[in-house]
Amino acid sequence: MRQKPGLVFLSNEYIEDLFESHHFNIADLRIQKESAMFRVKESPSLICERHGLQAAEDAGEMLQAVLNNDPLYQRQKRRIERMEALLRTLTTEEAKLVKMRYFMRRQWSEVAKEFNLSVSAIKKRRREALLNKARRFLLTGKESS
């Protein structure tokens, strides 16, 4: 009998990818917003027609209508909001680990040195605890106790 594969979206690799891609996701969202603003400024009548707006409405309202109706923008926004909520639940030490390893992309040896631990200790204990906390948060949307 074949075993069912585990939940890939909860794997350590997946959660680490979420941490590593967070800054890129924020930049991508900013680019999407700037692109939408360009479209609003360049073709306001087309935007009004497409989104059912009055021509007298200001560019800010038009931009918000465009972004609210863009499923890719909304998905990226939810992904960022969820990651920001997770980051707010981290202790100072956990946040430092995330920043060094996943945002600054430091080697495990550098992270271990900063925490005055061996590489195996930082990877095994701290990394596993952090990823387990993130996994529980992503499943429940709540801080673990």
pLDDT at 8: 59
Q: What is the model's pTM?
A: 0.77
Q: Are residues 16 and 85 in the same domain?
A: yes
Which of residues 44, 71, 89 is at a domain's end?
89
* Residue 1 covered by a domain: no
Domain co-membership, 17 together with 84: yes
Per DSSP, 117 falls in state: S
pLDDT digits (tens, 9 = 90+) for 29-52: 999 999 999 988 888 888 878 777
State whether 85 and 107 are in the same domain.
no
Residue 139 pLDDT level (bands cut at 50, 70, 90): confident
The residue-averaged pLDDT of 9-38 equals 90
Residue 127 within any structural domain of the chain = yes
Residues 99, 62 within the same domain: no
Asked if 82 and 15 sit in the same domain, the reply is yes
Strand, helix or coil at 128? helix
In a domain, residue 5? The reply is no
* Co-location of 15 and 51 in the same domain: yes
For residue 24, give its domain range.
10-89
Number of independent structural domains in the chain: 2
pLDDT digits (tens, 9 = 90+) for 56-75: 567 888 888 889 988 999 99
**Shared domain check, 100 and 83:** no
Q: Which of 39, 36, 23 is nearest to 72 (CA)?
A: 36
Residue 4 domain flag: no
Note whether residue 109 is domain-resident. Answer: yes
pLDDT at 142 over 80: no
Task: Give Cα separations from 52 to 47, 48, 125, 140 (angstroms).
Answer: 8, 5, 54, 37
